């Protein structure tokens, strides 16, 4: 999170980047990480009606090749995506889509996960003046360096000129 000076000795936290701040090839290491828990997994799985026993039945999961509950991949996707917001989409108008989502390795309770995003492309919007499209590839990594997930995302980001932050008091 960056700070914006809004008065004498007064600063306001800022989230995200304007379109102009993205450079192709830049990599953002998103912090803090998040240690996944059985409670996170069970709540998310039941809340989203994913009753697969690998996510919520420890006795069942114990007999699987993994020997324990798997963290629901929908949860890890949501957490990794959330980690990117302060760096990638905090000034987004809209998420335009996710592509090429890959689930590469399992995540278990007790694993601490991190994320990083690389800017792949950017262009001014042809139909929306003052906005641009940024494409990033995000990977999720466990604390031991194991990559467990990757995806690409296209985000419509506001440009510095004529942004809504000022009007909204940000």
Domain boundaries, the chain: 17-160
Residues 6+ apart with CB under 8 A from 1: 13, 14, 15, 86
Q: pTM here?
A: 0.89
Angle between helices 38-47 and 73-84 in degrees, nearest 10: 100
CA–CA separation, 156 and 93 (whole Å): 5
pLDDT of residue 11: 78
Fold of 17-160: Thiol Ester Dehydrase; Chain A (3.10.129)
Per-residue pLDDT of the chain (170 residues; tens, 9 = 90+): 666 767 787 877 778 899 999 999 999 999 999 999 999 999 999 999 999 999 999 999 999 999 999 999 999 999 999 999 999 999 999 999 999 999 999 999 999 999 999 999 999 999 999 999 999 999 999 999 999 999 999 999 999 876 666 655 55
């Amino acid at each position: 999170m960056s700070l914006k000076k809004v008065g004498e000795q007064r600063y306001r936290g800022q989230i995200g980047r304007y379109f102009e701040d993205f450079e192709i090839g830049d990599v953002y290491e998103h912090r803090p990480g998040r240690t996944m828990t059985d409670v996170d997994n069970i709540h998310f799985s039941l809340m989203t009606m994913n009753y697969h026993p690998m996510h919520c039945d420890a006795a069942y999961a114990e007999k699987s090749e993994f020997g324990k509950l798997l963290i629901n991949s929908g949860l890890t996707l949501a957490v990794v995506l959330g980690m990117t917001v302060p760096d990638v989409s905090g000034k987004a108008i809209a998420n335009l889509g996710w592509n090429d989502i890959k689930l590469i390795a399992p995540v278990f309770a007790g694993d601490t996960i991190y994320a990083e995003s690389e800017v792949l492309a950017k262009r001014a919007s042809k139909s929306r003046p003052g906005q641009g499209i940024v494409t990033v590839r995000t990977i999720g990594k466990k604390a031991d360096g194991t990559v467990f997930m990757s995806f690409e995302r296209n985000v419509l980001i506001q440009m510095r000129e004529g942004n809504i932050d000022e009007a909204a008091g940000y």
